[in-house]
Structure 1
Amino acid sequence: MGRFQVVGATVVDGSGRDPSTTVSVTVEEGRITELGDFSANGERLDAGGLTMTPGLIDAHVHLGLSSLVQPQFSFQISAAEIAADIFATAGAALDAGFTTVRDTGGIDGGVVTAIAKGKVRGPRVLSCGPVQCQTGGHGYYGAEWEPTELWSSHHVPGLCALSMMAGNADELRRNVREAFRRGASFLKLCVTGGVVGGKDRLTDTQFTVEEIAVAVQEAAARGTYVTVHAHNNEGIRNAVEAGARCVEHGTDLDEPTAALMAAHGVALVPTFAVVERLLRDPAAAGLDESARDRVAGVRERMARALAVAKEAGVRIGLGSDLIGPAQDRRGEELGLRAQLETPMDVLVAATKTNAEILGLPEVGVIAPGKQADLVLWKGNPLEDPNIFTDPANAVLVVQSGRVVKDLR
């Protein structure tokens, strides 16, 4: 579509302002050109009874982990099937109303390129490429008997790259430079233990301040940033001291650490959907029952961390962290967050705030000059946030002015 106007929708622009029922949205050459009265110049798209929001943004995805996780790690799934699962997940993200995602580990640059060229359906993707982890730390999923140097053989060049291990600062510097060579647009380090993987605990800290600072230095040299997987306060404080700009999960965040994050402008991306899924059925993600045990109590602690961060004035985004083949209901993250915040707060986190965290000033709100990333919802998700959880409620999805889904 070249030039068109969307009329009749209740418009929630992502800024936090009250919805408008009297505004038409004009789109031309992929951008929003005007908010105002309807003009007969251009195609009319009638959206009466629907609610318009900006395209949603998921700040923590794993497209490269779209197959059953443990079988993928142990070579029981072919590259062809892994690719099919990745591309199905990318398309499902669009269908759920997500026009932009930040992949925080698992895909290689070829997937980003294939989606950007339109060869497969998918959202706009920013990727860190392989996760950076310390030797034997979170992000390493090889068997105990497997020599560490063979771990890179689990990568499928151009398709998936799970993690790169470093035993010291020099090795980390080499690895992050390699990640950038492969097309990474930011870096992710694991600085504490995690839920998926049995070789560490959430209380473990990984990488020293000096090592994290090496990655920060390399990222800054390319005009980008470091985000960290971190569950405990010591790991978060190490990352903040080293200059990281974002924290993923933040499960046990306390008041002093939240204040430190706020003082340094460090953002937080909580991830509730993956916790809910693993509590419900770890086998659906290709994990054994130990994953359920490791995630016990995380939901409640992450909810407390969210409240602590909010009170401290930390910028808070939104991420699902879904893994495995069941990634079609990505909007469940918004429904879960709406149990802890207002639906408007949640929508702003998933649009305007996430765009700020990702460094994408041209998306995240409905305003003249912005990229035309728009979703029309059946019903009003501010009144019923569970509307976000069902992709069938995303009646029409527009990405950069192009209709990519239409159920009207």
Structure 2
Amino acid sequence: MGPFQITGAAVVDGSGRDPVDVDVAIEDGCIAQLGASGAPGERLDAGGLTMTPGLIDAHVHLGLSSPIQPQFSFRISAAEIAADIFATAGATLDAGFTTVRDTGGIDGGVVTTIAKGKVRGPRVLSCGPVQCQTGGHGYYGAEWEPTELWSSHHVPGLCALSMMSGNADELRSNVREAFRRGASFLKLCVTGGVVGAHDRLTDTQFTVDEIAVAVQEAAARGTYVTAHAHNNEGIRNAVEAGVRCIEHGTDLDESTATLMAGREVALVPTFAVVEQLLHDTAGAGLGESTRDRVLGVRERMTEALAVAKEAGVRIGLGSDLIGPAQGRRGEELTLRAELETPMEALVAATRTNAEILGLSDQVGVIAPGMQADLVLWNGNPLEDPKLFADPANAVLVVQAGRVVKDLR
């Protein structure tokens, strides 16, 4: 597209500042300037709409867009899995999310295909397969199935949920393989999980020395490790080993939060998936036992959010939605807005997430020189944060200066 201007919108720039009525000029995929300008190009009238930066989801699973148990039991074809992944990618853009961090499940081919513009979708940063200890969280094979057969569940170039490591040397080898396949950061599971059969939330997985191997390999490539962790012991192991981010953090206590803040380790809580699993376990393609495991998690994660804020931890935002029902990704902002202010939820989903993803020089705020990733909302989501949850309210989505959705 050539240069254009969006006029008449109330602009919420993602920094936490109050909305201002200002024109936004876009050129060469970037924001050229804020304020009235005699710049050439088309004028898009956005009167009555609210503009925010493109939203960022720091915890997605595009590769888990089919019913989960059937997908990993070879009951769904590669063609259908691909169709589901690409449908989720398009729906993510339609919900106002222009950038996501995929924390396990897709292989590099998906990232490349979306980046080439062959299918609609957000910019994707991916860890490729999650790194797990043998039999730990992230393993969905049958109990009788030998571990070495698990990687045959991968569909090269499309989906690869996890890799199993029995020791530090195997982890080093698997991490290097993940980078070879196009990972841009790493994710390790260092505690049990909610969606799993072989472990409990109280389990810790991987030793400090093992986690440190992944940190070392990531540092060698100028990137970082994030860790799936629900309990304090696992979080402490990960922080001690040098990870940069914790996912979930369900049972985080004050001393552990203080440790995280001191080491500048970020936290990405995930509330939407908890609601999803409480209300529609079967819809995600999971058994009823998963629902039992999730009971009480919402309350504890709410407490963890408060504890982390009090300690001064940098807190991002992630939905962690899994299975076919990933259309209402903005629900995460609505849920967070109930626990904080709507503005705090928006800043977490824009500026803070951009910082966590290492993209703060490109996206996350509306300012000259930044990439033109923008959403125009029908109404003011700061006054009514339920607007974030319904993709129909994202009436115009701009990604890298291109209009990718327009319901005006």
TM-score, normalisation: structure 2: 0.99
The CA deviation string for residues 66-96 of structure 1, in whole angstroms up to 9 with x for no partner, is: 0000000111100000000000000000000
- Determine the structure 1 residue equivalent to 2:406: 406
Q: Report the CA distance between 1:281 and its aligned residue.
A: 1.1
- Determine the structure 1 residue equivalent to 2:325: 326
Aligned partner letter, 1:130:
P
Does structure 2 conserve the Cα–Cα contact (< 8 Å) formed by 1:7 and 1:38?
no
Name the count of aligned residue pairs. 407
Does structure 2 conserve the Cα–Cα contact (< 8 Å) formed by 1:248 and 1:268?
yes
Does structure 1 conserve the Cα–Cα contact (< 8 Å) formed by 2:126 and 2:183?
yes
Write the distance in 1 (CA, Å) between the matches of 2:40 and 2:329. Answer: 36
Does structure 1 conserve the Cα–Cα contact (< 8 Å) formed by 2:26 and 2:33?
yes
Q: Report the CA distance between 1:186 and its aligned residue.
A: 0.1
- Determine the structure 2 residue equivalent to 1:62: 61
- Determine the structure 1 residue equivalent to 2:383: 383
Residues 130-149 of structure 1 mapped to structure 2, 5 A cutoff: 130-149=129-148
Does structure 2 conserve the Cα–Cα contact (< 8 Å) formed by 1:109 and 1:129?
yes
Do structure 1's residue 182 and structure 2's residue 181 form an aligned pair?
yes
TM-score, normalisation: structure 1: 0.99
- Determine the structure 2 residue equivalent to 1:125: 124
Q: Report the CA distance between 1:228 and its aligned residue.
A: 0.2
Aligned partner letter, 1:336:
L
The CA deviation string for residues 290-332 of structure 1, in whole angstroms up to 9 with x for no partner, is: 1110000000000000000000000000000000000000000
Aligned partner letter, 1:47:
A
- Determine the structure 1 residue equivalent to 2:80: 81
Does structure 1 conserve the Cα–Cα contact (< 8 Å) formed by 2:104 and 2:128?
yes
Q: Report the CA distance between 1:344 and its aligned residue.
A: 0.3
Residues 10-159 of structure 1 mapped to structure 2, 5 A cutoff: 10-21=10-21, 23-39=22-38, 41-159=40-158
Aligned partner letter, 1:138:
H
Write the distance in 2 (CA, Å) between the matches of 1:37 and 1:255. Answer: 48
Aligned partner letter, 2:176:
R
Write the distance in 2 (CA, Å) between the matches of 1:286 and 1:139. Answer: 15
Do structure 1's residue 396 and structure 2's residue 396 form an aligned pair?
yes
Write the distance in 1 (CA, Å) between the matches of 2:250 and 2:109. Answer: 32
Aligned partner letter, 1:316:
I
Does structure 1 conserve the Cα–Cα contact (< 8 Å) formed by 2:25 and 2:39?
no
Residues 275-290 of structure 1 mapped to structure 2, 5 A cutoff: 275-290=274-289
Aligned partner letter, 2:260:
M
Aligned partner letter, 2:288:
E
Q: Report the CA distance between 1:41 and its aligned residue.
A: 2.2
Write the distance in 2 (CA, Å) between the matches of 1:10 and 1:85. Answer: 35
Write the distance in 1 (CA, Å) between the matches of 2:104 and 2:244. Answer: 17
Aligned partner letter, 1:340:
L
- Determine the structure 2 residue equivalent to 1:167: 166
The CA deviation string for residues 338-390 of structure 1, in whole angstroms up to 9 with x for no partner, is: 11000000000000000000000200000000000000000000000000000
Name the SS for the 1:302 alignment partner. helix
Q: Report the CA distance between 1:40 and its aligned residue.
A: 5.8
Write the distance in 1 (CA, Å) between the matches of 2:136 and 2:41. Answer: 56
Aligned partner letter, 1:18:
D
CA RMSD after TM alignment: 0.5
Name the SS for the 1:339 alignment partner. helix
The CA deviation string for residues 194-253 of structure 1, in whole angstroms up to 9 with x for no partner, is: 001111000000000000000000000000000000000000000000000000000000
- Determine the structure 1 residue equivalent to 2:307: 308
Percent identical pairs in the alignment equals 86
- Determine the structure 2 residue equivalent to 1:241: 240
Does structure 2 conserve the Cα–Cα contact (< 8 Å) formed by 1:134 and 1:207?
yes
Write the distance in 2 (CA, Å) between the matches of 1:66 and 1:319. Answer: 16
Write the distance in 2 (CA, Å) between the matches of 1:38 and 1:47. Answer: 16
Name the SS for the 2:20 alignment partner. coil
Contiguous gaps of at least 5 residues in structure 2:
none
Name the SS for the 1:227 alignment partner. strand
- Determine the structure 2 residue equivalent to 1:226: 225
Write the distance in 1 (CA, Å) between the matches of 2:39 and 2:140. Answer: 58
Do structure 1's residue 5 and structure 2's residue 15 form an aligned pair?
no
Write the distance in 1 (CA, Å) between the matches of 2:344 and 2:196. Answer: 33
